[in-house]
Amino acid sequence: MGLPTEAAPWFQSCLLTSRRPRRVGGPLQLLPCSDPGAVALRERAALSTASTEPMASQSGNGSTSLANSGRTAIPQPGHIEALQATAAYLMTPGKGILAADETIPHPTKRCEALGIASNAEFRRSYREMLFTAPDLADYISGVILQDETIRQNSECGVSMAGLLAGRGILPGIKVDRGAKPLAGYPGETVTEGLDGLRERLAEYVKFGAKFAKWRAVIRIGDATPTLACISANAHALARYAALCQEQALLPIVEPEVLMEGAHDIGHCEMVTGAVLEAVFRALYEQGVTLEAVLLKPSMVIAGQDCAKPASVKQVAAATLRTLRRHVPAAVPGIVFLSGGQDERLATTHLNAISNLAGSRPWSISFSYGRALQDPALNAWRGRSENRTVGREALSFRARCNAAASLGTYNDTMEATAHFD
Ligand code: 13P
């Protein structure tokens, strides 16, 4: 088996498999070696051996030819500067993003676990509590809203987006319509929502949204992810990002590799690298301007059922190594999702990543959902008399993560929590 020495043939073989009959590409393979250099080689080898199809078959849609290299950038004149300014604002040093965009069943499930009945008014009230937390704007530069929330008003009649903007926090909006089963690939999903997206984006701009997000979900299993799943999700992310830039919304591109499973950290590193390669290839093909995009990846971490959990040091090193290898320097910022990690561990990992030495062309911060909200929800428990402690719990977690984004978090900060 010959190893390709250039990235380009590897890219092409990766793309080729997406047009082949089902299952031909198969899952990514993991070879038994943990040396970082060899990891990159085995990634390429595993993917290149997945395809034996001649490259000439790519000519069908011309998507990888150079014919599109002379295309103009998607953002309209003037848009690009505005999008870059939004990116710079969101990546203000010492601040991060609060993801408050769970789809309705998610907060409902979490509320049920706490014995709280969830309805639209309840969710509005919960989110208003979050958005009015003290000092939130000191640590949070943007909040990702859900379609339901961006259409709601606060108690005093101001729109939720207006409430945030009035505090100096940029409102954003989740625009995908969720991960749906990928036909022909049991257990895998493709994120949907491209139909009518242009019109929805235009509407969200009118509601005051400044940025958007789209989440793709990649599951590691014995036979997953397949290249078909990776390329379908990468393509959708790129189409979404191009539409956002056209409509003057900054796209956050979120390819999440799930923590569910028994895989080890090396397996996660291989899959995350392959996913990022496919995503940036697709962004390039769709003419997305990388200077006006933020990446929201998962950290490189062992699966939650792995017998050999990775140390904080290992997670930080593998995450930064993978990002350095696969994320172009033109991208202004990377904001991690928490992915179901325990909230303190998510903070500790971010802090360790921030403290690693070596070059880092992009700014790094957080865009956490559960790791920011869970302590607030637990403190609040749906009772009006707990609103103050709920707000304090969110502010406290945001402060810890803001410190972690600067590498100045430590365990003693946890002892300063007053809301328990
Ligand atoms: P978590 O931090 O809970 O993973 O949520 C982030 C998010 O935006 C999920 O789409």
Residue 383 lies in a domain: yes
Using the mean position of ligand 1's atoms as its centre, give its distance from the Cα of residue 2 in Å. 40
Please give the positions annotated as active site.
254, 296
Give the mutation target among 149, 367, 397 for probing the ligand 1 site: most ligand atoms within 8 A of CB. 367
Using the mean position of ligand 1's atoms as its centre, give its distance from the Cα of residue 118 in Å. 20
In this structure, the strands spanning 170-174 and 96-99 are unpaired
The atom of ligand 1 lying closest to the CA of 372 is 2
Nearest Cα residue to 367 out of 224, 252, 216: 252
Cβ atoms 293, 241 nearer than 8 A: yes
The atom of ligand 1 lying closest to the CA of 298 is 4
Distances (CA, A) of 5 to 24, 39, 45, 138, 395: 23, 14, 10, 47, 49
Q: Which domain holds residue 102?
A: 80-416
Q: CATH number of the domain that 270 lies in? A: 3.20.20.70
Half-sphere exposure (CA, 13 Å, Cβ side) for 247? 25
The C-alpha angle 145, 189, 268, rounded to 5 degrees, equals 90
Element (H, E) at 352: helix 343-355
Residue 60 lies in a domain: no
The CA dihedral of 341, 137, 80, 241, to the nearest 10 degrees, is 30
Domain count, the chain: 1
Question: Ligand 1, atom 5: nearest CA belongs to which residue?
Answer: 369
pLDDT averaged per 10 residues, the chain (length 420) = 31 34 42 36 36 32 42 63 97 98 73 77 93 97 97 97 98 98 98 98 98 98 97 98 97 98 98 98 98 98 96 98 98 98 98 94 98 93 92 97 98 81
Residue 14 lies in a domain: no
Distances (CA, A) of 208 to 151, 193, 201, 253: 10, 20, 11, 20
Distances (CA, A) of 256 to 27, 50, 213, 239, 314: 17, 23, 12, 17, 19
Residue 220 lies in a domain: yes
User: Which pLDDT score, from 0 to 100, does residue 74 have?
Assistant: 57
Distance in angstroms (rounded) separating the CA atoms of residues 363 and 92 = 9
The atom of ligand 1 lying closest to the CA of 339 is 4
Count of Cβ atoms closer than 10 Å to residue 396 Cβ: 25
Residue 187 lies in a domain: yes
DSSP code at position 53: S
Cβ atoms 372, 339 nearer than 8 A: no
292, two tokens: 């006006």
Using the mean position of ligand 1's atoms as its centre, give its distance from the Cα of residue 330 in Å. 24
Residue 13 lies in a domain: no
Residue 84 lies in a domain: yes
User: Which pLDDT score, from 0 to 100, does residue 77 have?
Assistant: 59
Using the mean position of ligand 1's atoms as its centre, give its distance from the Cα of residue 408 in Å. 23
Residues with CB under 6 A from ligand 1: 99, 101, 215, 254, 337-339, 368-371
Specify the pTM: 0.84
Residue 80 CB contacts under 8 Å (≥ 6 apart), including other chains? 73, 245, 289, 291, 292
Residue 338 lies in a domain: yes
User: Is residue 36 reached through a cis peptide bond, with omega within 30 degrees of 0 on the bond before it?
Assistant: no
